[in-house]
Amino acid sequence: VKEFLKGHQVRAVKAERNAARVGAFVELEDVLGKLQMAELNSRQYHGEHTITVDDAQPRNPYLAKKACPRLIGPSKYCRGWNIRGHCDWTEACSFRHDARNFVNFGADLEYERVPRGSAKYDELATEMQGAGLGQIKRIRRVVNKSQEAAYEARRSFLHEKHGCVVEKELWHGTACSVLDKILTTGLQCPSDCRASEACPVSGGKGLATTLCGTDCRYCKEKHDWDMCHMFGLGIYKSNRYVTPAAGSKVRSLVRCRVNLGNPYLIEGNLKQGDALHSIVRCVDPSQHIDALGKHAWDTLKCHDAYYVKGLGHEAKTGFGVINSEYIVFHPSQVLPLYVVDYEA
C-alpha cells in the first residue's frame, strides 16, 4: 500500500477484507486535493491492477449535516452511529444519524401476559428452574411489529447470502432500568464510550457503555476494558449480565430468537484479555485465540456471529468463558420474544 501511495506520507494502514472485496484504510499526514486524488485513481496497483481510491473524510464537519447513507440505504443500519473511533478511527461515521431514520423509530411496545400453567409458561419456567435462577414472578410476551419486520428482513438477507441460517432461542440479560427502552428500540450493539453520570439518558443507570449516539454532548469518554465485552462490542446472549432496578430484588431475563447466520466457533481462551474487546463487527479472531478449532475462517462469505464454546474448568479467568455464549453484531439479528421476571 505504501508503495502504491509513493510520494505521500502514510501515517497508518489498516487492511480490510469484506467477503471477496480486499482493500485497506489509509491515514495520510497531509490533505490531498482533487488533482492528487485523480492522479492516485489513475495509478495501477502492482503495475497491472486498477483500483479505486476514495476519501473517507473522517471528522468532516460538512458530513455531519448530511443523513448517513447506510442508515437511509437498503441495510437501514450504520454500526458507526454510536462509535467515536476511540480504538479504531476507521469505524467512526462522520454522517448524521437522525432517530427518525432508525428502523424502530416510533415503534409500539406491548406486553401480553403468559398465563401460568400454559405450555410456554411451563417450558420457560422449567428451563429457569433447571438453571437455579430463582422464583418466577411473571412471564410476558413481547410484541414489537417493527422489530419483527426488521428481523425477518435481516434473516432473508443472510439466508440469500449463505443458503441457510442458524437460529436459536437464547437468553439475554441486561440492566432492568433500561429494559423498556431496549425492547422498544431493539437491542443495540454497545458504544465505545462510557455512560456519563451527567447524561439525562444514560446516566445513573449503572451502565458500562452509553445508550447514546455520537451526537451526545455528555458521553464522550472512551470505554476501557474492565473484564467486559471479552469478544467485542456486540450483543451477548447469556444470563450473566442481569442487574435489578434500584430498590428492587426482581430481575428480568429476555428470551430472544437469535439469527446467527453463519456462526464462527471459538473453542479456546484468549491470548490476551482485551484482545477482542474493541472490535465492532464479526472479524477473524484466530490470531488472538490460544487453540484453534477444526474449521477455518470463511474468507469468501465471512461469518455473522461468534459461538464461544464454554470451557468449564479449563476457562482462564478473564480469558475464556465457563458457559457457552453467542455474540452478534447487528441488532436486527435479535428478536425479543418473552420477558421473565424473577426474584433471585
CB 125 within 8 A of CB 338: no
Q: Evaluate if residue 54 carries a pLDDT over 90.
A: no
Per-position DSSP letters for 42-79, written without gaps between them: HSEETTTEE-------TT-TTGGGSB-HHHHSTT---G
Least confident of 30-34, 121-125, 166-170, 194-198: 30-34
Q: pLDDT (tens digit, 9 = 90+) per residue, 185-218? A: 999 999 999 999 999 999 998 888 999 999 999 9
Taking the C-alpha atoms of residue 59 and residue 184, their distance in angstroms, rounded to an integer, is 30
How much of the chain exceeds pLDDT 70, in percent?
Answer: 95
Q: pLDDT (tens digit, 9 = 90+) per residue, 18-48? A: 655 678 889 899 988 899 999 999 999 888 8
